[in-house]
Amino acid sequence: MGVGYPECTSFVRGFAEAVAANREYLTQLDAEIGDADHGINMDRGMRAVLPKVEALTDQDISGLFRTVAMALISTVGGASGPLYGTVFLQLSSSLKGKSEIELSDWAEAVLAAVTAVQARGKAQPGDKTMVDALLPAGDVLREAAAEGVPLSEGLARATEAAHQGMEATIPLLARRGRASYLGERSQGHQDPGATSSWLLMQAAEAAFAKGN
């Protein structure tokens, strides 16, 4: 059984809740290597998303994610808005016309989102960005879909891969974004974008596995 519109809405709400709960943590991580505003900006953006999502009536998964993207792009400052807007815009595009999402659909949508983020931010794996959490998650989702594992198991693997990718950013030298200005001083700090990307995968697992 695939994931439908209600689960996708729960995913968006769950991500908003996770961002709100981790607002100070994300901001503290960003204070160490960035502008000290990642948690603040993401929380503002997701708070703006919620009423727009609640107002939707057409039960369209692609439209839902597009609404999230537009709200983030218009309300979030810094790099977070355009990058997370890009993620949700690509999810919208990849899932267009689908009323239910299978594990393989989600895998390809996440990987397409990563590709779009890389094109926008010019980040490669190992550059200490959100790509370091999202790309492993997408790869694991694709592998799980190819193996034919249950949706819940594939989602759990993706969350774990994102978590490992997030932790792997700690020793890395930042090569993109504000953190890259610090040079070697960026080493020893966890990337805030990779951290919020792990929260994104965690929210997807919680919402999508619940509906199956």
- Residue 187: the pLDDT is 85
At residue 78, the pLDDT reads 75
List beta partners, residue 3. 101
Residue 1: what pLDDT? 64
Distances (CA, A) of 109 to 20, 104, 172: 25, 9, 27
Sorted by where each starts, the structural domains of the chain and their CATH numbers stand as 5-210 (1.25.40.340)
pLDDT for residue 17: 98
pLDDT of the residue at 71: 96
Q: pLDDT digit of tens for each residue in the chain (212 aa)?
A: 689 999 999 999 999 999 999 999 999 998 886 778 899 999 999 999 999 999 999 999 999 999 999 999 999 877 888 999 999 999 999 999 999 999 999 999 999 999 999 999 888 888 889 999 999 999 999 999 999 999 999 999 999 999 999 999 997 757 666 665 555 666 878 999 999 999 999 999 999 987 55
Q: How far is CA 82 from the centre of its chain?
A: 12
DSSP 183-210: GGGGTTS--HHHHHHHHHHHHHHHHHHH
State residue 145's pLDDT score.
97
pLDDT at 80: 85
Let me know: does 198 contact 162? Beta carbons within 8 Å.
Answer: yes
Q: How far is CA 121 from CA 17, 95, 117, 169, 177, in A?
A: 26, 23, 6, 17, 8
**Whole-number pLDDT of residue 133:** 98
Taking alpha carbons only, the member of 115, 38, 41 closest to residue 72 is: 41
Per-residue model confidence (pLDDT) at position 182: 54
